[in-house]
Amino acid sequence: MRLVVVQTGRIKDAHVIALRDDYLKRFRRYGSLTVEERVPKQEQPLWPASSRWKVALDERGEQFGSAELAARLRTWTMRHGEVAFLLGEAYGHHQPTLALADERLSLSAMTLPHQLAHLLLIEQLYRAASILAGAPYHHA
């Protein structure tokens, strides 16, 4: 499983970084999960050139439970290989970026602080991978 999280801007909170890095380390047993921090340039899309399936985190996107996200993740990776998730700026994504998305995903109906959304996505991707592997992390 090859996943990449494209973070618009930089995560600055050391506690968030430490938690994120712990999940990235744990994820290694299931495949590759990397984080790229990028700075937007004049409304150009931030998608990685190598990504095959693009999922934009968007408040208007679909919401999934953890098991459903795991099932979607299995489908996306089996059909398309690498999957890229893009977290936008505080005011969302620029239209050129959304136009290139294959899917839109909402983490919650609630508004989340940017750094918390980043951490929540990383944790849910780890949880989804553990569900697919049959590991005991997810207590359903």
Contact 58, 94 (CB under 8 A): no
- What residue numbers bound the domain in which 90 lies? 2-133
Q: How far is CA 30 from the centre of its chain?
A: 15
Is residue 28 in some structural domain? yes
pLDDT of 30: 97
SS (H, E, C) the chain: CEEEEEEECCCCCHHHHHHHHHHHHHHCCCCEEEEEEECCCCCCCCCCCCCCEEEEEEEEEECCCHHHHHHHHHHHHHHHCCEEEEECECCECCHHHHHCCCEEECCCCCCCCHHHHHHHHHHHHHHHHHHHHCCCCCCC
Is residue 140 in some structural domain? no
pLDDT of 44: 63
Is residue 63 in some structural domain? yes
d(CA 70, CA 22): 20
Contact 9, 87 (CB under 8 A): no
Is residue 15 in some structural domain? yes
Is residue 139 in some structural domain? no
Is residue 138 in some structural domain? no
pLDDT of 98: 85
Q: What CATH number is given to the structural domain containing 123?
A: 3.40.1280.10
Is residue 40 in some structural domain? yes
Q: How far is CA 45 from the centre of its chain?
A: 16
Q: Please tell me the total count of domains within the chain.
A: 1
Is residue 123 in some structural domain? yes
Question: pLDDT of the chain along its 140 residues, tens only?
Answer: 999 999 888 899 999 999 999 999 999 999 999 999 888 776 666 777 777 899 999 988 999 999 999 999 999 999 999 999 999 877 778 788 888 899 999 999 998 888 999 999 999 999 999 999 999 888 76
pTM listed for this prediction: 0.92
